[in-house]
Structure 1
Amino acid sequence: MEPGNDSQISEFLLLGLSEEPELQPLLFGLFFSMYLVTIFGNLLIILAVRSDPHLHTPMYFFLANLSFVDICFTSTTVPKMLLNIQTQIKVITYEGCITQIYFFLLFTALDDFLLAVMAYDRLVAICHPLHYRVIMKPTCCALLVLMSWMISALNSLLQSLMVLWLSFCSEVEISHFFCELNQVVQLACSDTFLNDLVMYFAAVLLAGGPLTGILYSYSKIVSSIQRISSAQGKYKAFSTCASHLLVVSLFYCTLIGVYLSSAATQNSHSSAVASVIYTVVTPMLNPFIYSLRNKDIKRALKRIIGVPVM
């Protein structure tokens, strides 16, 4: 068996969210605005963490990494969608589609792993406060992030290379605004059993694994908080992980909701519209969630923009 595609497919058509001409300017303005907010919001978080010595802790180190991944995650899909809307050309090259699949899988898995690592950080901080500095030392934090990158990169590389082995028919329309792996595989004329097997195995391992770790961490955190006698102590302990818990809920609930609804309705267009929530909306909201609920971040941001800090 030789890699390649028998029909020499050179491009795919991304149908996008809507084909109605009158909606295109509205969609362009909406997504361009959301993209700018996502970029600048997450850049401000990164700048705040780097510029304020008080934020040079494991929790904010992971947060800065999450903000960077969110910028890359959104940049994988939105710029191409904006270009297609502006030019009214829905084409994406075969190579561009494979590249988009690779980076989308990479940053989706990284989001999963970083959220799990942040949950583990809160577990250590609340359940083992006296050993926090020993356990979460800089080398350990860097290693956790590096391992997340390596596992995510290997998974995305494997699944992208497996798409290269598929043969595609003349039907190359994708009912989405980006090259979503499942829909691209469904367009193949050749046998996709191995692709489907690896895809579902990776989904269980790389999404279910981190989610299980997050749920375990918070079960231990809740158990530890319940043993705190004072109400003020309980509130203080919970407030340190409230923002992260909100981000986790938003990301996983929307992601699971999208795939459950698409599996139930078998409507690719509905799935594309729903995918906007976790691919565009969630990365945009993350900076607001962390900055609005975190006094340290707000203080650092005020210093950056020149507002006097009380």
Structure 2
Amino acid sequence: MSTVSTAKAPARVDRTTGPRPDRGKRRQVRERQWPAYVFLSPWLIGALGLTLIPMAVSLYLSFTDYNLFDPPHWVGLRNYTEMLTDDPRYWRSVGTTMLYVVVAVPLKLGLALGVAMLLRNLNKGRAFYRSAFYAPSLLGASMSIALVWRALFNDGGTVADVLDTIGIHTGGWVGDPHLAVYAVVLLTVWQFGAPMVIFLAGLQQISPDLYEAAALDGAGRWRQFVSITVPMLSPVVFFNLVLEVINSFQVFTPAFAISGGDGGPADSTLFYTLYLYERGFTASHMGYAAAMAWLLLIAIGAITLILFRTSRSWVFYADEEGR
């Protein structure tokens, strides 16, 4: 005779009634978080209204023909194709900007590192000299300093007179197509204070024991610099390099002041941002200028990515193995 099991299946729990435990916890978390969003709201509003929305509008305008007065007219990729295939001044602006970046950035970083190493070994007056060397970084971006710089390098200016006294007859740099861009380069190099301060902070983090051990092994100053200073300072070098490259591609005020706003003479100071300004606000081709701005953004992003990729082979981090 078969036995019939009298065991009952477990009762189903009705999950549709009553508050869920996790739902109450999430409500408490949200109640604790809302003050943070209130304090973040000014930044969020600024990021949305001053960055994200203008970027979206600029991207749209780059595909239009817009002159600031009439409604934008959609032209597709015409601005980009004209820029890349039918605008020789665009490519001159690219070449001038690349020359400026290749010359100015190494000179500026080299001078900043050299002065930082001198200040590291200075016992008295370090704070004064550090402030004095940093001051040009605060003043150099102003239009007034750029105009003074133009006067110094103009025909009959101080630089030409001083060079004449030592037998170097260059004339005014501002009016010479071969030298005008280097006047802008020197103005940029003169503003080496910001990377210098960063280099000085990095140098102070290197342990003196490393130099003492190298000296005991017979390493000279140059060998110590190559084998200790450069590897230990490579993250700081990389940081300064990325910042200076990005900033150099966006140079505008010195080029505008020294060239008189037209990129002269003979387009020798026609930097990318100056040509962008000319096409957008002088010629009222705002759609074309927006396309130039987006290509500049893409180029800076690509170069920055290349710097990050290549940094794996030369940037040394003491707290990571295999670097």
TM-score, length-scaled by structure 1: 0.26
Kindly indicate whether structure 1 or structure 2 has the higher relative contact order, using CA contacts under 8 Å at least 6 residues apart.
Answer: 1
Instruction: Determine which structure has the larger helix proportion and give its number.
Output: 1
- The structure with the larger Rg is 2
TM-score, length-scaled by structure 2: 0.25
